Structure 1
Amino acid sequence: MRRSILFAVGARAIRSLTAARSHRGRFPTLDQNSSFLGPEPRGKDARKWHIRDKRKLSNRLREFFIYSPALGRTVGVRVLLPGIPQEVSPVIHLYHGGGDDFRSWTDFGAAEELTLDSPYLVVMPDAGAGTYSRVAVGSAVHDWPTFHTKEIPEFLRKNYSVDFAPENQLLAGLSMGGYGAMKYAAWHPDRYSWAAAFSSPLDPLAAIPAFDIIAMREGAKSMTLFGDPVADRSEWIANSPYGLAENLQGLNLWLSAGSGSLEESKDRDLLESMVNQQGERFSARLNALGIRHSWFPRTTGLHNWTSWERELGAWLKTLRRQRDYASSDNRSAERRGANLDDRRGNSSDGRRGGPRVADGGEFSYLTGHALFDIHGWRVEISRRRAQIVCFGSVSTAGFSLTGTGSFRVRTPGLYEPGRRYDISVVGLTGTNDYPQRADKKGRLTFTGRLAAAMHDPIIPGKRTQHFTTVGQSEVTTVRIASAPDDSPPARPQRSSPRGADCRGASRPDASRPDAGRSD
């Protein structure tokens, strides 16, 4: 009964949004096709992304149609060249919302005009219905995150002169596009410096009907996007900016939403009211975690392009002020012979107040992925059930992981090539020690087991449903230390990696009461 009510409310909000945009016809995700390009690539041509068509629409605006192996089809991408020409350009990844497409920011959001005096190259890729997630549609899987975070950067690297340093990679979007921007930032905090969300749902567990409806618009079956909210809660958290908020420490975060009404009108925009409430909750969670951010709950504003054009302009002004301040501050520091990063406490990867993780400084990371790369560390986890992994207190001295299963870790090149290191794995079963020499790139690679887990039952039921979470809160600690009185051999020997235990599950409390405000 409760789920039916939630779906009814969510459907009403989506119908209101659809009606407001009816003058533009059907939803682009259902309307678009690439038939004018001929049949989709097959065989070898379908294994790599490639440009199938490109057009010059104005002095700055370019339009591409790219075949994506991650999506299994051709989709559109628009690119705005920098208004202020740069030898190497910073990049804004600008995402559209549900019901729009890659043309929308330039057709309806004045993106070309607003970025006229900007040094940023702006890339606006298509996102289908706007799930910004992996969507199963029949026998196919539309992997939008891989398209956006892997194939689009490869496309930019091949066709433009852009700067991929984290401080010059920015994410922004409206509605579901803001959800995608904030989620990708939480997934890859080592790759981006800014994330901005305009009128966006940032806690999927608090907007289940909306996410389900948007996935169904792309052709997915109901409740298949992240699974059942109870049985598959880990998957929902793994795709939730709210659930992974801890990863956003040190990034520049911008959130805004309208009130859902106009001063001269008594009508309420249900969708904007909902995302406004989500913005409040997300801001409260960031405050509880001590994460600085900018939250702008507008006193007026609907879920429409008038609001989003205003918000994009306001955000770009903030970027411009920060850039001007950084330039003047750098000049002053140079005159005084000071090191700006050391003086202001900025990190080497551009994150304010963060550790110098590139040099082995400490960091922590939450994820729901079984395979992930973060700050040069690669972690692979073999597991029977999805769970949230906490890769904690990571530094050259070791790390911790919570959860069950087995793991394989490859460190960055932070160690002395050829030198022997003692690796200790401390868990519930005791301590295991494994000596190993760093390879010629200064990396260590080792495997191990996490906390013991009960096997999945052959026939799931109420008596065995607890098996899925047993052990997920257990912590395994890995310590790495240089072996005493050891010097590197003339030729570093290749050693077969042995044990070290790594994996963790830290489940943010989605029911935490709201508290606090942004700074």
Structure 2
Amino acid sequence: MKKKRTLMMSVGARAVRSLTAARTRSGEFPGRDQTLAFLGPEPTGADAEVFHVREKRKLSSRLREFFVYSPSLGRTVGVRVLLPGIPSEVSDVIHLFHGGGDDFRSWTDLGAAEQITADSPYLVVMPDAGAASYSRHRFPGTDLDWPRFHTEELPAFVADRYFVNPERSGQILAGLSMGGYGAMKYAALHPDEYCAAAAFSSPFDTLAAVPLFDIITLREGGPARSLFGDPKRDRAEWLANSPVALAPNLAATDLWFSAGSGEPDPDEEGASVDVLEATVHHHGERFHSRLESLGIPHTWLPRPTGSHTWVTWQRELAAWLEDLPRRLFEAEARGASGGGAGSAQGGGGATEAGAAGTAGSGTMWSSADGAPFSYVTGDPVFSVHGWDVAISRRRAQIVTFADVTPSGFTLNGAGTFRITTPALYHPTGTYRIDISSPLTENVYNLRADPEGRLHLTGRMAGALHDPIVPGRRTRHFRTWGQEEITQVRISPIDGDGGDGPITSAGTNDLHRRT
């Protein structure tokens, strides 16, 4: 095991060095000074609390470069933006992420993104991602919240500056290598915000790529295992950041991913097998199998040749972009009809598998069809489709917020919960709340707030607690209760009374408001 890990570390480091060497040989990078010394010291005081542009440049008729200060990162980073090749009044946005060892310039300096998108109607945003963890990384003296920068601050900046579609239907994610990992993870964490995600040569199973994440951690400047913790002791944290584990959330997202086999292309005489590409190819197979088992439509393109290089990624970006308008149109049509897509076999090994739209499959709830949705997460506090959920717990755990409709939902895990629903209920209407958990059967009446939201609280399984004497005999305390299911049912009460006490709270009413 140690020998295998050493080999993976060596392969990862070699890949980073080769990418840097490719930039040097091309003479295209750095196109401008890599340091930010010309901007002066980082903002302090009130300026450090606000996202703002510190410098902007026009590099070509379509390419813009910004240096922005991000409170989520506590520092200034770069962002490049490609204006649509085919202008329109309102444009959809592609968030295009770079891989490890690269930066916000890479897709245009080395990936030919400007040329490939020349006939594209999309606004392409290429932000910096540091060492490319696409995760929150905290260690002494540093707190880098990359997800917040990429999914909150940056979309707000783009929507404020350009005429773009800020709705889910206009927000698209894509990336190469670690950038593809980030695209799929963000899509899974925010299924109500992004309609499509694509990944080229990317890892998807964090627990199968521990050495790779060790490299990312060290390159970010943090100590080993400071990103997700120990893979055994903090397994839930690793799963919470794994697209494979979060796959159920992707049922309503258009998914496209590809990888080469690692074998050289026919025109690469004398080239050896690319071990890194072969490794991420296995990740693609694993992700494909997981999605297929869940019945989630997707396109998986396992290429018979191809290495972990820009030649591969330029080809994949062009292929995905060419097919994207059709895919988005068909996805929108499926969503409008409430139906799923059947299995289809495409050329080049492409597979679209399964069907979405069944109860509890992960599809998005809407007032039009009433289909339930499910959401998997490792976060104790999250928001999805208008539901705000906070779970008080002692240890990390993977939680499934399942079969969610205005009539109720289920939660697995231990601890207590506090949930605010969307505005689905009659304002100030009274509702009966039935909570069935391993600990108790609790029934109470609750009044919706003036906006039609309900504010629910309840107990799940026994709170996870730390054993007094850690060891094999007390190991079960770490996971006890995580598989237990708590059922919550919400039903209207005629009139403004009921058998139980009325508490001020708020959330939507079971009856649709007209």
- Shorter chain as denominator, the TM-score bin is 0.7 to 0.9
Aligned counterparts of 2:335 and 2:248: Cα–Cα separation in 1: 26
The alignment partner of 2:441 has SS state of strand
Structure 1 counterpart of 2:297, one-letter code: R
- Out of 297, 302, 306, the position equivalent to 2:307 is 302
CA distance in 2, matches of 1:391, 1:343: 21
Distance 1:146 1:494 in 2: 38
Structure 2 residue aligned with 1:269 = 274
Separation (CA, whole Å) in 2 of partners of 1:249 and 1:158? 30
Aligned to 2:511: none
Q: TM-score, normalised by structure 2?
A: 0.88
1:21 counterpart residue number: 20
Q: Give the counterpart of 1:387 among 393, 397, 409.
A: 397
Q: Which amino acid aligns with 2:232?
A: V
* Worse-superposed segment, 355-364 or 167-176: 355-364
Corresponding residue of 1:424: 434
Secondary structure of 2:35's aligned partner = coil
Q: Distance in 2 between matches of 1:32 and 1:104?
A: 12
**TM-superposition CA deviations, 1:53-85 (whole Å, max 9, x none):** 111111111100010111110000011111111
Supply the RMSD in Å over aligned alpha carbons.
2.5
Distance 2:331 2:248 in 1: 26
Q: Which residue of 1 aligns with 2:201?
A: 199
1:195 Cα deviation (Å)? 0.7
What runs of 5+ residues in structure 1 fail to find an aligned partner?
330-338, 347-351, 499-519
Structure 1 residues 32 and 460, CA gap change in structure 2 (3 angstroms) = farther
One-letter identity of the residue aligned with 2:277: E
- 1:143 aligned residue: 145
The answer to whether the 8 A contact 1:425-1:476 is kept is yes
- Between 1:133-142 and 1:122-131, the stretch displaced more is 133-142
Runs (4+) of structure 1 moved beyond 6 Å? 324-327
- CA positional deviation for 1:358: 3.2
The corresponding residue for 1:367 is 377
Partner of 2:72: 70
The reply to whether residue 357 of structure 1 matches residue 365 of structure 2 is yes
2:365 aligned partner, one-letter code? V
* Matched residue, 1:319: 324
Moved more, 261-270 or 215-224: 261-270
**Pairs within 5 Å for 1:396-475:** 396-475=406-485
C-alpha spacing 1:343/1:471, structure 2 compared with 1 (3 Å): closer
Q: What is the deviation of 1:484?
A: 3.1
The one-letter code of the counterpart of 2:85 is G
The residue that corresponds to 2:51 in the other structure is 49
Normalising by structure 1, report the TM-score: 0.87
1:379 and 1:407 in contact (8 A); partners too: yes
C-alpha change, 1:25 and 1:447, in structure 2 (3 Å) is: farther
Residues 312-355 of structure 1: per-residue CA shift (max 9 Å, x gap): 0000001133467799x8xxxxxxxxx99238669xxxxx9545
Q: Residue 281 of structure 1 corresponds to which residue in structure 2? A: 286
Structure 1 letter corresponding to 2:336: D
Q: CA separation of 1:207/1:69 partners in 2, compared to 1, >3 Å: closer, same or farther?
A: same
Contact 1:257 1:301 in 2 (8 A): yes
Whole-angstrom CA distance in 2 between matches of 1:344 and 1:497: 35
AA partner of residue 148 (structure 1): H
1:178 paired to 2:180: yes
CA contact (8 A) 1:92 1:122 kept: yes
**Stretch deviating more after TM superposition (265-274 or 365-374):** 265-274
What does 1:115-130 align with in structure 2 at a 5 Å threshold?
115-130=117-132
- Give the % identical residues: 56
Alignment of 1:97-112 (within 5 A): 97-112=99-114
* 2:276 aligned counterpart, secondary structure: helix
Residue 218 (structure 1) aligns with: 220
Q: By how many angstroms is 1:172 displaced?
A: 0.3
Map of 1:508 onto structure 2: none
Q: 1:250 to 1:23 in 2, by over 3 A?
A: closer
Query: Per the alignment, do residues 386 and 220 of structure 1 end up closer, same or farther by CA in structure 2, a change over 3 Å counting?
Result: same
Distance 1:252 1:103, change over 3 A: same
Give the distance between the partners of 1:92 and 1:454, measured in 2 at CA: 41
Q: What is the CA deviation profile of residues 38-64 of structure 1, one whole-angstrom value per residue up to 9, with x for unaligned ones?
A: 000111111111111111111111100
Taking the aligned partners of 2:234 and 2:330, their CA distance within structure 1 comes to 46
Matched with 2:337 is: 342
Alpha carbons of 1:344 and 1:379: their partners in 2 closer, same or farther (altered >3 Å)? closer
Per the alignment, residue 3 of structure 1 pairs with 2
Secondary structure class of the residue paired with 2:366? helix
Bigger CA drift: 126-135 or 171-180?
A: 126-135
- Preserved contact between residue 445 and residue 502 of structure 2 (Cα < 8 Å): no
Which secondary structure does the structure 2 equivalent of 1:161 belong to?
Answer: coil
Q: Structure 2: any 5+ residue segments left out of the alignment?
A: 342-354, 358-362, 507-514
Deviations 1:202-256 (A, max 9, x none): 1011111011111111111111111111110000000000111111112111110
Q: List per-residue Cα deviations over 1:283-339 (Å, max 9, x = no partner).
A: 111111111111111111110100000000000001133467799x8xxxxxxxxx9
Offset of residue 116 of structure 1: 1.4
Letter in 2 for 1:182: M
Per-residue deviation, 1:14: 2.6
- CA distance in 2 between partners of 1:162 and 1:284 (Å): 35
Q: Distance in 2 between matches of 1:20 and 1:180?
A: 19
1:152 Cα deviation after fit: 0.5
Give me the whole-angstrom Cα distance separating, in 2, the residues matched to 1:133 and 1:326: 28
Q: Is the 8 A contact 1:11 1:209 kept in 2?
A: no
Distance across 2 between alignment mates of 1:356 and 1:187: 13
- Mapped to 1, the partners of 2:41 and 2:190 lie a distance apart of 35
Q: Whole-Å Cα distance in 2 between the matches of residues 372 and 438 of structure 1?
A: 21
Give 1:407 shift: 1.1
* Structure 2 CA distance for partners of 1:71 and 1:459, relative to 1, 3 Å: farther
Q: Using a 3 Å threshold, how does the CA distance of structure 1 residues 340 and 481 change in structure 2: closer, same or farther?
A: closer
Task: Give the direction of change, closer, same or farther, for the CA distance of 1:228–1:220 in structure 2 (3 Å limit).
Answer: same
The verdict on how the C-alpha distance between 1:89 and 1:40 changes in structure 2, with shifts beyond 3 A counting, is same
The 8 Å contact of residues 411 and 487 in structure 2, kept in 1 or not, is answered as yes
Give 1:167 shift. 1.7
Question: 1:480: how far off?
Answer: 0.2
* 1:189 equivalent among 184, 191, 208: 191
Cα distance between partner residues in 2 of 1:413 and 1:127: 36
Alpha-carbon distance change, 343 to 456 in structure 1, aligned in 2, over 3 angstroms: closer
Decide whether the 8 Å contact of 2:365 with 2:404 is kept in 1: no
* Matched position secondary structure for 2:504: coil
For residue 11 of structure 1, report the CA deviation from its aligned partner: 2.2
Q: State the Cα deviation string for residues 145-180 of structure 1 (Å, max 9, x = none).
A: 111011111111221121122121110000000000
Secondary structure of 2:472's aligned partner:
coil
2:189/2:377 contact within 8 Å kept? yes
User: 1:366-408 CA deviation, whole Å, 9 max, x = no partner?
Assistant: 0000110000000011111100011010000000001111111
